[in-house]
Amino acid sequence: MPKLHYNNQHLHAMEDETVLDCLLRHGINYPHACRSGICQACLVKATDSPIEPTWQEGLPDTLKYQGYFLACQAKPATHMYLQNPDAAECDQQAMISEITRLTHNVLRVKLLTEHLQDWIPGQYLTLMNPDGVCRSYSVANIPVKEGYIELHIKLKDNGSMSEWIRKKARVGMTIQIRGPFGKCYYINPDHHHLICF
């Protein structure tokens, strides 16, 4: 059976078990959300270990080249040496500049951050609060034109992120974001009309 080396621990993986499931089974509270390779909250880095391309689907090339993969998608057949993501390589800081209630259960959250030219409406980001909770949200504006990233966040009863936003999030607070991810967007530099049926 393969062995995972993580934070000076040697974890035995079970047959057909993902890296994420192995970490969780050993009591390691590793960040995750969707468990299907979409949210990319379970990003992990391998050192001197083979990585299957399917473990990296949807990741930017820069992260692939640095040895990152999705723990929820990886079922290693050999020993692996793992590291936590380096925030300087895959995350960036953002400051909450506005929290506005749009409806009884939807909030508009505006984030100030750098490199706004990299963000396109239709893409999404993973928001990480100081409590270690990760959730993915779509970009709801054109950041490079407006000077901020806008998120529309639906509040869920007893949701971990929802409770944090309701009770702890404040304007001026700094959080971590990861992305941009996704290719579901439309580029129209000549401003031609688009008719959808």
Q: Which residue has the tokens 């473990």?
A: 55
- Percent of the chain exceeding pLDDT 90 equals 63
Cβ neighbours of residue 61 closer than 8 Å, sequence gap 6 or more: none
Q: Which two tokens stand for residue 169?
A: 């999030």
Whole-number Cα distances in Å, 94 to 11, 109, 133, 150, 189: 35, 11, 16, 12, 27
Please state which of the ranges 17-21, 85-89, 159-163 shows the lowest mean pLDDT. 85-89
Please state which of the ranges 23-27, 52-56, 123-127 shows the lowest mean pLDDT. 123-127
Q: What is the mean pLDDT of residues 138-157?
A: 94
Q: How far apart are CA 84 and CA 19, in angstroms?
A: 13
Q: 158-196: per-residue pLDDT in tens?
A: 999 999 999 999 999 999 998 887 765 555 555 555 555
The CATH label, of 3.40.50.970, 3.90.1520.10, 3.40.309.10, 3.10.20.30, for the domain at 3-85 is: 3.10.20.30
pLDDT value at 121 more than 90? no
CATH class of 91-181: mainly beta
- Percent of the chain exceeding pLDDT 70 equals 92
Q: What is the pTM of this model?
A: 0.71
Domain boundaries, the chain: 3-85, 91-181
Backbone angles phi, psi at 56, to 5 degrees: -115, 10
